[in-house]
Amino acid sequence: MVAQRAIVIGGGAAGMSAAAKAKRTNPAIDIVVYERSGYVSYGACGFPYAIKGEIARIEDVVVRTPAQFAQQGIQALIHHEVLTIDTARQRVLVRDLHTGREFTDHWDELVVTTGGQPARPPLPGLDLPGVFGLRSVEEAISIKTWIGEQRPQTGVIIGGGYIGLEMAEALDAHGIALTLVERLPHVLPTFDPEVAEQVEEELRRQRVDVRLGQAVQAIVGNERVRGVVVDGQTIPAEIVILAAGVKPSVGLVRETGIALGPTGAIAVDDHQRTNVPHVWAAGDVAEVYHRVTGKPAWIPLGTTANKQGRVAGANLAGGNARFGGVVGTTVVKVFEREVAISGLSLTRAKVEGFDAVSVSATASSRAHYMPGHQPLTVTLVFDRSSRRLLGGQLIGREGVAKRVDTIAAALQAGWTIDEFAELDLSYAPPFAPVWDPLLVAANLARR
């Protein structure tokens, strides 16, 4: 029987994709979305660029408003927090954060899209003014407001992942002297060290003080943040960005019978069904199937969230959509470098049990005689015995995003390194040399 009422918990990419697709699939469904913050359907990946000033207003990252969804017949209620889920009675307890009123609501189908939550290390001083996370529109607005009003001259970024690196560039644009602290030996831990070291070199070239393998012990200040204690040394900081990673926001589903998978996120099948009938999950709160390892994975990306949400929405409305999994493709801009990965690093491939080897090649991004050509380094990882392509990493000043997508397509198809080397890639002097850097690396692997 097709659902008559669907409740979506969370109004981010996955939640609003699910609601919109369900309504298109079956216009008769009554859909309500409960969102704790003041915004729905926004591109969080744009926050660093709005803070930097490349985007005029933080609010410009909002794709659609509750009023626009209402025109589609979807009720998106902001400032409403779901407190509990009763899977036996198919009810949720909701609090209106404006009025404090609590009420119950009933579903025929429930979609959990509560997303991820920032890792908050147990540090003294986390609540000082001037210390920020970056997961919501409100937090992005607060950061930009703080910079505009307080004019910080020094800052510390805790964490060397994607958000930390993008925020380094954003804060640098405001003339803030930066220190980036990463407790692991390198930034970008999903990459192999040889690639991460080039990113660290770029950060230092841009006058960012990079502290690797060091632990933050406290954040200090009085009426506002004044510094960060790292391995016994106090680093001056008038703004601090917490970018120490995220984890699936599963607190709401604990004790509900909704099963978590080995990654700690909600376990789902390829239709986005959980183990509880009529309960679906999508986005950063849910696991994905990794097409290279063949195992569940947790890879919180906006692209995946939109796709999973769309599948969940179609299926709860009576459809039969399927999400086939991911290969883990990401790209990030770090000042003047572009860095990307798809599939597994050599380190990860060995951990997963592959007989993995890698090759690296540096070639020109365009024909060597074209103005503006830049060196581009490609690392390809493959299985020694089967020769199956397992992953690729790229770093350069241009042309990285286009090429990592080629690697992603090959991984999706399950190609060998030899099949990859036979690709018929485009060539024109302004865009690529006759032998594209991808093919240079692949041919090196064939020797």
pLDDT of residue 120: 87
pLDDT of residue 52: 96
pLDDT at 210 over 70: yes
- Percent of the chain whose pLDDT exceeds 70: 99
Match 């200040």 to its residue by tokens: 221
pLDDT tens digits for range 2-43: 559 999 999 999 999 999 999 999 999 999 999 999 999 999
pLDDT of residue 447: 84
* 425 and 438 Cβ atoms separated by less than 8 Å: yes
pLDDT tens digits for range 137-195: 999 999 999 999 999 999 999 999 999 999 999 999 999 999 999 999 999 999 999 99
**Active-site residue (options: 36, 38, 45, 224):** 45
pLDDT of residue 3: 58
Match 């024109």 to its residue by tokens: 428
DSSP labels, 94-152: EEETTT--EEEEE-SEEEE---EEE-----TTTTSTTEE--SSHHHHHHHHHHHHHH--
As a whole number of angstroms, the distance between CA 249 and CA 253 comes to 9
- Please state the φ and ψ torsions of residue 165, each to the nearest 5 degrees: -70, -40
Residue 288 annotated as catalytic: no
Name the strand (E) or helix (H) holding 277. none
pLDDT tens digits for range 298-317: 999 999 999 999 999 999 99
pLDDT at 409 over 50: yes
Q: Which two tokens stand for residue 176?
A: 């803030």
* 388 and 382 Cβ atoms separated by less than 8 Å: yes
pLDDT tens digits for range 75-120: 999 999 999 999 999 999 999 999 999 999 999 999 999 999 988 8
pLDDT of residue 121: 87
pLDDT at 1 over 80: no
pLDDT at 205 over 70: yes
User: What is the residue-averaged pLDDT of the chain?
Assistant: 96
As a whole number of angstroms, the distance between CA 46 and CA 61 comes to 6
Q: By C-alpha distance, which of 385, 377, 368 is closest to 404?
A: 377
pLDDT at 402 over 50: yes
pLDDT at 426 over 50: yes
